[in-house]
Structure 1
C-alpha cells in the first residue's frame, strides 16, 4: 500500500501471518484469518467466523475499537470494482438492525473478488 492510497483512505491487502500475529489476543481459540486488509493503522479482517473492523484511535493508536460482525448478521453486501477513472473498489455491508451500510474502500491493486468469494461462502453457505 502506497502513501497515495493511505491519503485517499484506501485499504490494501496484508499478509495473513502479520494479521494473525497482530490480532492473536482477540481471535478465538480455533478462529483463523482468511483474508486481511490494512489502511495505515486500521484493519479489515475476514475470519472463518466473522468480519472484524479494527479502528485504532488517537495519536498513539493505543485506544482500539474492535467491531465484530458475525456473518449471520450480514443481510446484504455490494462490491464495486475499479473503473477507468475511479481507481478504488468499494464494499458496502448491510448489518441487521442498522439502516445504513458500512462502507469500505480498497485500492485498485486489491483483489476485491477474493474478498467477495470469502463473503459469499460465509453468507450464502459453503
Structure 2
C-alpha cells in the first residue's frame, strides 16, 4: 500500500456537515459519518459501516479516488503516540488483502484515540 502510506500526511478533524454532503452519492441509506479527518485535499472518513479514504488527484483535484475499507477487512491496527521530536501520532491498519500496513499521521494524539475507539467498536464485536 505504498501509494496510500502516509498519503494524508498530518490530518486534522474535518467538518462533518461538509463531509456528509461530499460523500452523499456513495453512502448507503443506513450509513452515517462518525468522524472525518482532512489534510489539504485528501480525507479519511469513518462511518458506521466502513472507512473511506478520499484521494484528490492531479493539480486541480478534479479527479477523486474513493477507497472503501470495510471494518471486517481490518485484521490488526496499531497506534504510536507523538514524541519530543516527532510531533505526529501514527495510525497503522493491516488489511486482510495486504502485507504492508496503511499508515496515517495525525497532529493530535486525541484524534488517533478517537479513531481507535471507532475502529475497535466496529472490529471487536
Q: Same fold (TM over 0.5)?
A: yes
Length, aligned pairs only: 118
Q: Which stretch shifts more, 24-33 or 67-76? A: 24-33
Compare relative contact order (CA 8 Å, sep 6+) and give the higher one, 1 or 2.
Answer: 2
Residue equivalent to 1:22: 22
Give the structure-1-normalised TM-score: 0.88
Match of residue 108 from structure 2: 108
State the 1:22 CA deviation.
1.4
Question: Residues 78-93 of structure 1 correspond to what in structure 2 (within 5 A)?
Answer: 78-93=78-93
Cα pair 2:82 2:109 within 8 Å, conserved: no
TM-score, normalising length: structure 2 = 0.88
Partner of 1:57: 57
In the alignment, structure 2 segments of 5+ residues that lack a partner are: 1-7
Query: What residue ranges of structure 1 are gaps of 5+ in the alignment?
Result: 1-7
Cα deviation per residue 1:6-59 (whole Å; 9 max; x = unaligned)?
xx9211011221211111111111110000000100000110000111101001
In the alignment, what sits opposite 1:124?
A: 124
